[in-house]
Structure 1
Amino acid sequence: MYSTLIDIIFNSLGLRYLLNLISVFILFRFIYYHNYRKSDLFLTFFGFNSIIFFISYMLNKVEISTGAGFGLFAVFSILRYRTDGIGAKDMTYLFISIAIGLLTAIGPSDGLEMSLFCFLIVGLTFILESTLFLKKESSKIIFYDTVDFVKQDQKKELIEDLKNRTGLEIHRVTIDSIDFLKDSCTLTIYYYEN
């Protein structure tokens, strides 16, 4: 009796969508936004998530194969390759958003199991984004106004000059391009965030 009641409750559209929204809200508000301070992709993340959720939920009501469901998942995922301006981490968050939408729409009717899956996805993302296991390395592209230290044997001098100019604790540098006519170069600096 008790398990039948839980199955009925968690098979309802409203509670599945509520679990979906809570999971995605925690993911983007408290993990993504906390780490990157970007809100311009919130519409994309929530929009894709909701579209995937509703389409998957409706298709789950009709008889389709698992392969067709994953095909739909792949179609929405591939849209990322047709757009510009989304970085690798943003694309990963978009993929997680799509996965949560699909999972909550057609996942198991056991509410505890579905909640556990969502918690594991959000929890794993939190752990991987935290500094528990690795320091966070950031990079910036710098237009450097001299080519004095671009020789391989002067890397230490280059890093020290960049540290003095930027105030960042730079630990490595890559030289992207050199323009001898303008006596300048383009560098990518790598440093650990505090």
Structure 2
Amino acid sequence: MEFLDIPLFDNDFYKMIFRFILNFSFLTVIIRFIYYPDSKRKDYVFTYYLISLIVFFLCFTLKKYEMDIGMALGLFAIFGIIRYRTNPVDIKEMTYLFVVIGVSIINALANKKMSYAEILSANLIIVFVLLLIEKYWSLKQLVTKTIVYENIDNIKPENYNLLKEDLENRTGLTINNITVGDVDFLKDVATVTIFYYKNK
């Protein structure tokens, strides 16, 4: 049965729903249970879900038509939105964005030449590698913070340990290194940059 030359229903509907549930399940594992517990960035959780949702349905829709060039142009347009001109995106968030787009494309574009076992394996491998790197192999991330420091007697090289101890007591951070920047002797302040590991 058709309406305006478009069928009201076909068997691809079941395929779309099944693949959407599969895709959404793996995306939830990646976004909610791997990415979010460490980053606590709710804004990116929203972005990842919505972008992956649009990418999935866009790819599934384009797959219905014999448009190889159109498909390529569509994918280029999708990846073009990765560059946000208003706010710079951190490399880790950019990587997760690439992952959720890639997973959605894999789940949407798989055809008869690719079995469900291969689709599930691809998703499981991606999730396994993310878990392995994020939770167990994650390297210490060195973070910097610039501080205006008023006790300039401690910025002398011989008083480095006093400076470090004072800054650790004030910030509550385990400091790895300290560099001294601009010094204003009129105001008795100095700009110091502290380096510490994020996971500490």
Per the normalisation by structure 1, the TM-score is 0.77
CA shift in 2, pair 1:143/1:113, >3 Å: same
* Contact preservation (8 Å) 2:82, 2:94: no
How do 1:54-93 and structure 2 match up within 5 A? 54-65=57-68, 67-68=72-73, 70-78=75-83, 80=84, 82-84=85-87, 86-93=89-96
Partners of 2:183 and 2:53 in 1: CA distance: 48
SS at match of 2:42: coil
What residue ranges of structure 1 are gaps of 5+ in the alignment?
1-7
How many pairs does the alignment contain? 183
Alpha-carbon RMSD: 3.0
- Structure 1 residue ranges, 4+ long, deviating more than 4 angstroms after superposition: 147-157
CA shift in 2, pair 1:138/1:104, >3 Å: same
Q: Could you say which residue in structure 2 is the equivalent of 1:191? A: 197
Q: Could you say which residue in structure 2 is the equivalent of 1:163? A: 168
What residue ranges of structure 2 are gaps of 5+ in the alignment?
1-10
Q: Could you say which residue in structure 2 is the equivalent of 1:95? A: 98
* Contact preservation (8 Å) 1:20, 1:104: yes
Letter of the 1:46 partner, please give it: Y
Q: Deviations over 1:107-136 (max 9, x none)?
A: 354111111111111221111112x33543
For residue 141 of structure 1, the aligned residue among 123, 138, 145 is: 145
* Contact preservation (8 Å) 1:104, 1:114: yes
Q: Could you say which residue in structure 2 is the equivalent of 1:5? A: none
Q: Could you say which residue in structure 2 is the equivalent of 1:26? A: 29
SS at match of 1:163: helix
Percent identical across equivalent pairs?
27
Task: Note if 1:114 corresponds to 2:125.
Answer: no
CA shift in 2, pair 1:118/1:151, >3 Å: farther
For residue 48 of structure 2, the aligned residue among 45, 49, 65 is: 45
Per the normalisation by structure 2, the TM-score is 0.75
Structure showing greater relative contact order (alpha-carbon pairs closer than 8 Å, 6 or more residues apart): 1
Please identify the structure whose Cα radius of gyration is greater.
2
SS at match of 2:67: coil
Task: Note if 1:129 corresponds to 2:134.
Answer: yes
Partners of 1:76 and 1:115 in 2: CA distance: 27
Q: Deviations over 1:59-82 (max 9, x none)?
A: 11112326435423422333x3x2
Partners of 2:101 and 2:78 in 1: CA distance: 8
CA shift in 2, pair 1:173/1:23, >3 Å: farther
Shift of 1:92: 1.8
CA shift in 2, pair 1:174/1:31, >3 Å: farther
